[in-house]
Amino acid sequence: MNQNIERSIHDLREMDALASGDSMVHRVSAGAKLLVTVVYIGTVVSFAKLNMTGLLFMVLYPVLLFTVSGIPISTCFYKLRFVLPLVLFVGVFNPFFDRTPAFAIGSFTVTTGMISMVTLMMKGVFCLMASFLLMATTRIEALCGALRKIHMPQMLVTLLLLTFRYAAVMAEEVNVMTQAYSLRAPGQKGIHYTAWGSFLGQLLLRSMDRADELYSSMLLRGYHGEFYYAETKKRSSGDTLYAAIWCAAFLAARCVNLTQVLGMTVVR
């Protein structure tokens, strides 16, 4: 159990390490990346449920970003391992409800239900990959700084930042408590249900104490409700170009079935 918690803490910190990289993608301003990600997700979601070939073109964005940023795609799938099954589950019943034949491959009839299922899965996976890439190539502080610049409510942004930061603190407290428990309960797997109440109560009290001290530390260094971000880059023309090129590409992919066009060109 402790190994799992330690792995979770490590995972959280690994995101920070990934975001501190120094690739071309990392150097793009958080605002530009945020805009591109939002437009990307919006475009992906807007594809019709049977437009699988059109949607296929959208895979280029995450693939290119993974390549340029040097972040292994396996890291993405590993970190999203708990969410991916849920996303894949979304369209799993479509083939049963929609049995209209679309085309046949030999004796096997492909139904529109099957196509819409795959399209839905692709949409989910693409959106998750884009969100992961945003987080993995942008420091949370820079991202929150960008959110504040687009006038996202301060309360929400601070909440996002502190949740991200303190998730590890909370996990550390759980780790210490479970370690103390398991040392006095040898051979026992997990925490016995009779101890759940006091365990959670203690965790809450300890977390509150720690949060209180952290908050005091913030107050004593002039915190008054607005978080100032140490690293916020000014937007450059390169950032504008980055955002413009990607947004134009997404728009083109949405209006024209680029996969089909490419396919036809190759066939000819």
Partner 1 sequence: MIRFEDVTFAYEKGKPVLSAVSFEIGKGETVGLIGANGAGKSTVMKLLLGLAGPGAGAGSGSGAGNTKNTGSGRILVEGIEVLPKNLPQIRRKLGFVLQNSDNQMFMPTVFEDMMFGLLNYGMSRMEAERRVDEVLQDLGQEKLKYLYNHKISGGEKRMAAVATVLAMDPEVLLMDEPTSALDPYNRRIIIRTIGALKQTKIITSHDLDMIYDTCGRVILLSDGKIAADGPAEDILMDKKLLEANRMELPLRFATCV
Please, what is the minimum distance in Å from the beta carbon of residue 112 to partner 1? 48
| Region from 11-19, 65-73, 103-111, 117-125 binding partner 1, contact rule CB under 8 A | 11-19
Distance of closest approach, residue 218 Cβ to partner 1, in angstroms: 7
Which is closer to partner 1, CB of 35 or CB of 140? 140
Residue 227 CB burial class (10 angstroms; 0-12, 13-18, ≥19): middle
Q: Count other C-beta atoms under 10 Å from residue 184's C-beta.
A: 7
- Residues 19 to 48: which contact partner 1 by CB under 8 A? none
- Residue closer to partner 1 (CB basis): 224 or 268: 224
What's the closest the beta carbon of residue 222 comes to partner 1, in angstroms?
Answer: 3
Nearer to partner 1, 114 or 210 (CB): 210
Which CB atom, from 58 or from 157, has the smaller least distance to partner 1?
A: 157
Site string for partner 1, 142-181 (x = CB under 8 A): -----------------------x--x-------------
Q: Which is nearer to partner 1, 77 or 166 (CB)?
A: 166
The residue (of 168 and 177) whose beta carbon lies closer to partner 1 is 168
Binding residues for partner 1 restricted to 194-253, rule: CB under 8 A: 210, 212-224, 228, 230-231
CB of 151 to partner 1, least distance (A): 19
- Read off φ and ψ for residue 10, nearest 5 degrees: -60, -45
Instruction: Give the number of residues in contact with partner 1, rule: CB under 8 A.
Output: 24
Backbone angles phi, psi at 211, to 5 degrees: -60, -40
The answer to whether 141 contacts partner 1 (rule: CB under 8 A) is: yes
Which of these ranges, 13-21, 31-39, 189-197, 258-266, lies near partner 1 under the rule CB under 8 A? Answer: 13-21
Q: Which residues bind partner 1 (CB under 8 A)?
A: 13, 16-17, 139, 141, 165, 168, 210, 212-224, 228, 230-231
